[in-house]
Structure 1
Amino acid sequence: MFFNHNKNKIITIIIHKNPDGDALGSSLALMIYFRKLNYNVNLISPTNYSEYYSWLPGIKNIIVLSDNNKFFVKKKILDSDYIFLVDLNNFSRIGELKEFIKNSKSKKILIDHHPYPLNFDIMFHDSNAPATSILVFRFISNMNNLSKIDKDIATCLYVGLMTDTGYFRFPSINSETHFIASILMKKGINIYKIYNQLQENYNENKLKLLSIALKNLKIIKKYNIAYTSIRSSDIFYPYQQGDVDGIINYGLSIKNITFSVFFFEEKKNYPIKISFRSKGKLDVNLFARKYFSGGGHKNAAGGIIKKSLSETIKYFLHIIPIFYKNFNF
Structure 2
Amino acid sequence: MKIYHLSHTDLDGYGAQYITKHYFKDVRYFNSNYGREIDEKFNQILSLLDDEEAMILITDLNLSKEQCLDFEQKIKDKNAKLFLLDHHQTGAECASEFAWYFLDSSRSATKITYDFFSKMLGEDAKLKLFSDVVNAVDIWLKDDNYFEMGKVCLGLIANAKDINKVMFEEQNSDYMFYLLSQAQKFFNDKNDYIGLDMHIHAIKKDFFKKDKDDTLSNLISAYVVDLLSKNRQKYEISYKEFRGILTYNIGNTSVIGNDFLVANDDYDFFIDITSKKTMSFRANGKVDVSAMAKHLVGGGGHANASGGLFNAFKDGFEYESIKSQVVELIDKKTKE
Q: Same fold (TM over 0.5)?
A: no
Which has more radius of gyration?
Answer: 2
Query: How would you bin the TM-score normalised by the shorter chain?
Result: 0.3 to 0.5
Which has the higher relative contact order, 1 or 2, with Cα contacts under 8 A spaced 6 or more apart?
1
